[in-house]
């Protein structure tokens, strides 16, 4: 009887530890823009991913997907992983993840479309299923959405509990002459995210990537 009681206590402790780890885990879904000249910015995206791989811990989830189609789906996911609890296994997963990203960036071609909205819907669905303690959607883009007229998406985002962070938001060539257009574009996305109860931030200083997880 005493052995059974001790076993039950140990089992409860294990379950509590797993639940606590889940509560503090992070889920990061990064959307990559490869449209037009922005495809040339992907070297900077690799720097961000290097930071994420170095920072994320066992039980954290990381997904990277491109937003260069007009009908975003699972096939646009470049790499995805939930890091194993054992650090040695998690490190092997990180190396494998890095290889997938390096392979993608070495062959990527500039795309015609940028489906930011479709990427956001997919990211929301994926992270809700993964159910990490904290949810982050990173948008590596100039934030100019380019879709076919018939593919305009106007379904509201459901972003309660999500942190949406725009990274490396560059000015388009036209914005150099009219910088107000740049500010309007950023403001438009802020309103979309906050109207869905999400938290919105812009991080353009890639030397301070620790700001990604500051809340």
> What local confidence, expressed as pLDDT, does residue 145 receive?
86
By the 8 A CB rule, do 142 and 169 touch? yes
> What local confidence, expressed as pLDDT, does residue 97 receive?
97
For residue 211, the SS3 value is: helix
> What local confidence, expressed as pLDDT, does residue 14 receive?
44
> What local confidence, expressed as pLDDT, does residue 9 receive?
46
Alpha carbon distance 139, 134 (integer Å): 17
> What local confidence, expressed as pLDDT, does residue 113 receive?
75
Distances (CA, A) of 135 to 21, 159, 201: 14, 10, 14
* Phi, psi at 83, each rounded to 5°: -70, 135
Topology classification of domain 26-213:
Rossmann fold (3.40.50)
> What local confidence, expressed as pLDDT, does residue 74 receive?
79
pLDDT in tens, the chain (215 residues): 555 544 444 444 444 455 566 678 999 999 998 887 777 788 899 999 999 999 999 999 999 999 876 666 778 899 999 999 999 999 999 999 999 999 998 888 777 778 899 899 999 999 999 999 999 999 999 898 887 665 556 678 999 999 999 998 876 554 445 568 888 889 999 999 999 999 999 998 888 898 898 86
> What local confidence, expressed as pLDDT, does residue 211 receive?
86
> What local confidence, expressed as pLDDT, does residue 19 receive?
52
* Phi, psi at 79, each rounded to 5°: -155, 145
């Amino acid at each position: 009887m005493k052995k059974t009681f001790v076993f039950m206590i140990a089992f409860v402790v294990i379950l509590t530890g797993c639940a606590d780890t889940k509560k503090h885990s992070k889920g990061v879904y990064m959307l990559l823009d490869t449209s037009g000249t922005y495809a040339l910015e992907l070297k900077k995206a690799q720097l961000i991913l290097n930071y994420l791989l170095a920072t994320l811990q066992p039980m954290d989830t990381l997904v990277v997907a491109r937003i260069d189609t007009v009908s975003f789906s699972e096939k646009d996911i470049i790499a995805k992983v939930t890091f194993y609890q054992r650090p040695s296994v998690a490190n092997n997963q990180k190396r494998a993840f890095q290889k997938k990203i390096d392979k993608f960036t070495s062959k990527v071609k500039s795309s015609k479309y940028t489906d930011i909205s479709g990427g956001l819907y997919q990211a929301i669905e994926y992270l809700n299923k993964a159910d990490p303690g904290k949810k982050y959607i990173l948008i590596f883009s100039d934030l100019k959405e380019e879709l076919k007229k018939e593919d305009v998406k106007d379904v509201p985002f459901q972003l309660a509990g999500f942190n949406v962070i725009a990274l490396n938001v560059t000015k388009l060539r036209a914005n150099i002459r009219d910088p107000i257009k740049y500010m309007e574009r950023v403001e438009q996305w802020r309103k979309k995210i906050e109207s869905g109860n999400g938290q919105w931030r812009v991080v353009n200083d890639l030397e301070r990537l620790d700001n990604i997880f500051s809340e």
